[in-house]
């Protein structure tokens, strides 16, 4: 059975349940793990460090699920 999609805040690393499009704030960098695919959200005002970390976490997560 597949897991439900998981949205993760960078730096605050917490799972967000019952998330919606409004959770994609412009100052946030988030990872959405949909089991088969991983999406990284870069808000317009998110900082470079969090973007780099999110990409690295997304890559590690994707590699571990192969």
Give the chain's domain count: 1
Position 49 in a domain: yes
User: What is the structure's pLDDT at 6?
Assistant: 74
pLDDT tens for 26-37 read 998 888 888 888
> Which residue matches tokens 């805040």?
9
How far is it, in rounded angstroms, from Cα 58 to Cα 54?
Answer: 6
Q: Is the pLDDT of residue 16 over 70?
A: yes
Position 58 in a domain: yes
User: What is the structure's pLDDT at 66?
Assistant: 63
Question: Residue 30's domain spans which residues?
Answer: 6-64
- How much is the average pLDDT of 8-33? 80
Query: Does the global pTM surpass 0.75?
Result: no
Bridge-based pairing of strands 6-9 and 15-16 is antiparallel
Report CA-CA distances (Å) from 23 to 16, 39, 43.
9, 14, 11
> Which residue matches tokens 């349940």?
17
């Amino acid at each position: 059975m597949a897991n439900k999609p998981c949205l993760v805040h960078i730096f605050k690393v917490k799972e967000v349940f019952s998330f919606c499009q409004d959770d994609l704030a412009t100052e946030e960098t988030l990872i959405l793990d949909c089991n088969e695919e991983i999406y990284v959200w870069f808000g317009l005002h998110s900082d470079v460090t969090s973007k780099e970390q999110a990409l690295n976490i997304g890559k590690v997560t994707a590699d571990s699920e192969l």
